[in-house]
Structure 1
Amino acid sequence: MSTTAPPPAPPIPLLRDGLLDGLAVLAAPRSPATDRCLALGAHVSALEADLLDEDATRHAAEQGAPAHVLVVDAAVLFGAGGPDLLRTALDATWSAVHAHFAPEKAGKVILVAPRAQSGAHAEALRAGLENLARTLSIEWSRYRMRTTALLPGPETTDPELAELVAFLASSAGEYYSGCAFTLT
């Protein structure tokens, strides 16, 4: 008689419903990483602009509702990888981050990197995002801007990543700036 193991139980959400009520999250671009924020009560909008055009990106950011948190999913921008997409993802990330910045407002920037081992140039993008988060945490700390980078591992699931994005977007995430979260 053969027996099969039962399917694994779905993960138990760590964050409570309504945690992000009233929080405005700007996604560049919209991705599964921001879906959990929406489920927890945040207003999530996409930065609708050609992210490689800094003026258009800044204009789109100014026209939209003010956001408390910017989530840049550079993994989506990187796509299948390659040297051209590495440059595109880094430039688009900077354009979105720069457009979100305003000296008169505090805020958060969460940079999501591609998974480890997801292409020849993925590690370069991961290193670039970590460096950007660490540098901006120092340069923009006087403006109360907090930056973090998420570096998912090859086994990191989308729900795990989304849960961490939501945690960092919450008031509990105020403690973190300049951190790179390396996930397994």
Structure 2
Amino acid sequence: MDEDDGSIAPSMLYAYAAIMEGGALRERCPELSADIPVLEQLSIERGVPIGGKDFKTGPTLMKTILAPGFKTRMLGLSGWFSTNILGNRDGEVLDDPESFKTKEESKLSVLEQILQPNMYPELYGDMYHKVRINYYPPRGDNKEGLGQHRHLRMVGLSHADKD
């Protein structure tokens, strides 16, 4: 760090500073800044916890709350749509399809990990899952998240909810 090494990301410096100051480190986005052996060891030596990889909010949080309940009750899902509306720099960056690709993959994987469509193909095998992030500059730093899911009741009737 003293040599200003370009391979050290600013987020790693933040993690280092937080650990050195004794402040618990809680990752709020799905990144791996503190997932390097030297920072993990430093946190152990200083007794500073490092927690989480993602401080879920909005539609992703709702998926992690609702999907386990659907699975436990064996309620099938035909689809889930979610979108975030961002007006800040995050929204501008994610408006680029290449930049959005990694974020989309991580957001799409949430339901697959919870529902396990390969184990329950009759309930989730044909589920349509769409994730979008929309850049809308007037929104500023005020993120808005919207979601809709359609689940199939046991008697074959369809029901839609918005979260």
Shared fold per TM-score greater than 0.5: no
**Structure with greater contact order relative to length (CA < 8 Å, sep ≥ 6):** 2
* Higher share of residues assigned strand: 2
Task: Report the TM-score, using the length of structure 1 for normalisation.
Answer: 0.27
Task: Please say which structure displays the higher CA radius of gyration.
Answer: 2
Instruction: State TM-score, norm by structure 2.
Output: 0.30
